[in-house]
Homo-oligomer: A and B are copies of this chain.
Amino acid sequence: MTNPLDHVFAALADPTRRAILAMLLEDDMAVTDVAEPFSTSLAAISKHLGVLADAGLITRERRGRVIWCRLEPDSLRAASVWMQGFGQFDPVDLDAFERFLEQELDATSE
């Protein structure tokens, strides 16, 4: 009834969550470390991580006291295929991608 794409796109619609994904692109992170650069509460970030996990965009694994978050890029495949089908865009332009990430991270820290 609810399409997986619903959850993926809804998860991506929030700038905080996109910033979190960008951070996880670098490396796996503990929840506390994910929350550190944001001015919102840890509980709010925990909720965001829940939304990302429900969409399949990340997985969380407890190791001792710490819960590690890992990006699951394959979960974006369906959504990416959907969008490419509309635009028939050029192949991956990583320079443009870098620019977007910087722009978004700047906006986050404002």
Contact = CB atoms under 8 A, between A and B. Distances in A.
Copies of this polypeptide in the complex: 2
A87 B10 CA distance: 18
A12 B14 contact: no
Interface residues of A, number: 43
A67 interface: no
The winner among A88, A92, A93, A103 for most chain B CB atoms within 10 A is A92
A87 B97 contact: no
A77 B89 contact: yes
A30 to B, nearest CB: 21
B94 A85 contact: yes
Interface string A34-75: 000000000000000000000000000000000000010110
